[in-house]
Amino acid sequence: MNWLLRLYPAQWQERYGEEFGAVLASQRTSPGLVLDVLAGAIDAHLYPQIPHADVRQEQVQGSEIGQQVLIQQSPIEQSQSALIEGKDTMTFQLLQRCAAGGPKLSREDRRAAQRTMIWSALAMAALYMGLTKIYRDAPAVQALFYSSFPFLVLVREQTAYLRRRTRATQALLLVAGFSGMYLFMLGAFLLARTL
Amino acid sequence: MRKTNNDAELDDFGRFSEPALLILVSLAGGPRHGYSMTEDIEAIARVRLGPGTLYGALARLEARRLIEPLKSEDRRNPYKLTALGEHALRARLDSMMAVARTGQRRLASA
Provide the H-helix boundaries in chain B: 17-27, 34-45, 51-63, 83-109
Residue A111 sits in the same domain as residue A165: yes
Residue A134 sits in the same domain as residue A183: yes
Q: What is the interface pTM, i.e. ipTM, of the complex?
A: 0.83
Q: Does residue A51 lie in a domain region?
A: no
Q: What is the model's pLDDT at position B56?
A: 93
What pairs with residue A70 in β-bridges?
A: A59
Closest approach of chain A CAs to the CA of B41, in angstroms?
A: 14
Q: Does residue A179 lie in a domain region?
A: yes
Measure the CA–CA gap between A52 and A164, rounded to whole angstroms.
Answer: 7
**Candidate from A40, A77, A104 with C-beta closest to B52:** A40
Q: Which CATH architecture has domain B6-109?
A: Orthogonal Bundle (1.10)
Closest approach of chain A CAs to the CA of B83, in angstroms?
A: 8
Domain that holds residue A33: 2-46
* Cβ atoms within 10 Å, residue A123: 11
Q: What is the model's pLDDT at position B80?
A: 95
Q: Report the domain count for chain A.
A: 3
Q: Does residue A52 lie in a domain region?
A: no
Measure the CA–CA gap between B25 and B49, rounded to whole angstroms.
Answer: 14
Q: What is the model's pLDDT at position B25?
A: 96
**Number of helices (H), then strands (E), in chain A:** 7, 2
Residue A19 or A55, more confident: A19
pLDDT at A57 over 60: no
Domain coordinates in residue numbering, chain B: 6-109
Average pLDDT, whole number, for chain A?
A: 73
Residue B18 or A156, more confident: B18
Measure the CA–CA gap between A195 and A192, rounded to whole angstroms.
Answer: 5
Range scoring the smallest mean pLDDT among A25-29, A72-76, A107-111, A167-171:
A72-76
SS3 A167: helix
Residue B1 or A57, more confident: B1
Residue A158 or A142, more confident: A142
Using one digit for the tens of pLDDT, what is the confidence trace for A104-157? 667 777 787 788 888 888 888 888 888 888 888 788 888 888 888 888 887 777
Under an 8 A CB cutoff, do A27 and B62 touch? no
Average pLDDT over every residue of B8-29: 85
Q: What is the model's pLDDT at position A173?
A: 80
> Measured between CB atoms, does B62 come within 8 Å of chain A?
yes
Determine which of A12, A43, A76 to mutate to test the interface with B (most B C-beta atoms within 10 Å): A43
* Residues near B39 by beta carbon (within 8 Å), at least 6 away in sequence: none
Best-predicted range by mean pLDDT (A103-112, A150-159, A172-181, B42-51): B42-51
Under an 8 A CB cutoff, do B62 and A49 touch? yes
Q: What is the model's pLDDT at position A52?
A: 41
